[in-house]
Amino acid sequence: MKPRPDDFAERSKHLQNMTDEELNAYFWHLVEKVVDPLVELARTHTSPSIERSVLLRMGFNSLEAKKLVDMIFERGLLGKGAGHIVWRIAKEHNIDYIEAGRRMINGEYWDDVDRIFKGVKKNG
């Protein structure tokens, strides 16, 4: 493997006359350019697997998590976050979020979900 030529002096010319404050600001500008697309991707993209994982960590068992995610997906609301939806319903009804999720599995509170999150039911 051929060693890379040392061209640091040439590549860093635009940095050499900057103050520490300017270098710091330039560094954070570059960090934002790299990180912003990743943050946007994470904000706008999720998957059933990720949402099940969130519900599992909240304390739901795997069957409950799958059912909730499926029901939320059917309403086109997966991007709102399954855990967030369950939490909002629990808060709205002043009950524990596990109880809220289990009641949702049994068909309760879906009118509230649709009202709060403006859900549009898919396929029907």
pLDDT interval class at 123 (50, 70, 90): very low
pLDDT at 59 (0 to 100): 97
Q: Does residue 54 fall inside a structural domain?
A: yes
The pLDDT tens digits for 14-56 are 999 999 999 999 999 999 999 888 877 766 788 999 999 999 9
Q: Does residue 51 fall inside a structural domain?
A: yes
The residue among 36, 41, 85, 43 whose CA lies nearest residue 65 is 85
Q: Does residue 7 fall inside a structural domain?
A: no
pLDDT at 41 (0 to 100): 78
Question: Cα separation of 65 and 49, whole Å?
Answer: 10
- Domain tally for the chain? 1
Please report, for the domain that includes residue 72, its CATH number: 1.10.8.1000
pLDDT at 39 (0 to 100): 74
The pLDDT tens digits for 72-111 are 999 989 989 999 999 999 999 999 999 999 999 999 999 9
Q: Does residue 97 fall inside a structural domain?
A: yes
Q: Does residue 76 fall inside a structural domain?
A: yes
* SS3 call for 7: coil
Full residue range of the structural domain in which residue 93 is found: 46-116
pLDDT at 124 (0 to 100): 40
pLDDT at 88 (0 to 100): 96
Q: Does residue 102 fall inside a structural domain?
A: yes
State how far the alpha carbon of 81 is from the alpha carbons of 43, 49, 116, in Å. 10, 12, 13
Question: Cα separation of 11 and 51, whole Å?
Answer: 44
Q: Does residue 90 fall inside a structural domain?
A: yes
Residues, the chain: 124
Both tokens assigned to 1 = 């493997």
111 contacts 86 by C-beta, under 8 angstroms: no
73 contacts 32 by C-beta, under 8 angstroms: no
Q: Does residue 75 fall inside a structural domain?
A: yes
